Amino acid sequence: MSIGRGRRNNDKQPVSDINVTPLVDVILVLLIIFMVTAPMLQMGIDVNLPRVKAKSVDVGEEKLILTIKSNEEIYINRYKASLDDLKSKLENIFESRIDREIFMRADEKVPYGFVVKVMSEVRKAGVDKLGMITEPPKD
């Protein structure tokens, strides 16, 4: 019996334990990559379709509401505007505001193409958030 001999020859079997350290490292790197790139992927306009179930939005007096009537008349709160001067009016309104947010409600009979044109003018005016006002579905 010699001192210093810790193992015998038959103890040299492969280790069957899984080393998860490299796996954790890869997952953490992927998590960081997704956290950095996710905000860059938001390119669309957030909209809700008419007649949906959604929580109500608290719209106070300071919020702007853009209304499109069935005859394609546009109103900013209670003041009438045309599609041609919508961008300039919104730019003037948002010069003195910190939050660049507007809520839009459109009659369901308004053609989709016209609503998209209005949304394009709103985006060109520099609006950061465009919310759609809808009615709850009829039960």
pLDDT single digits (tens) 48-76:
345 656 565 554 446 888 989 888 889 88
Residue 26 lies in a domain: yes
Question: What per-residue confidence (pLDDT) applies to 131?
Answer: 86
Identify whether residues 33 and 80 lie together within a single domain: no
Q: Look at residue 114 and tell me if it is in a domain.
A: yes
> Residues 68, 126: one domain?
yes
| Residues 131, 46 contacting (CB under 8 angstroms) | yes
What pLDDT is attached to residue 30?
92
Tell if the pTM clears 0.85, that is, is over it. no
Q: What is the pLDDT of residues 33-47, one digit of tens each?
A: 888 877 666 444 343
127 and 72 together in one domain? yes
How far is Cα 114 from Cα 121, in angstroms, rounded to an integer? Answer: 11
Q: How many domains does the chain have?
A: 2
Residue 28 is part of which domain span?
15-41
Is residue 133 scored above 70 in pLDDT?
Answer: yes
Does any domain span residue 3?
Answer: no
Which residues share a beta bridge with 66? 76, 104
Same structural domain for residues 91 and 36?
no
DSSP SS3 for 114: helix
Answer yes or no: do 73 and 118 share one domain: yes
Q: Please give the backbone phi and psi of residue 131, each rounded to the nearest 5 degrees, phi first.
A: -105, 145
- My answer on whether 85 and 34 are in the same domain is no
Residue 5 lies in a domain: no
- Give per-residue pLDDT as tens, 18-32: 888 888 999 999 999
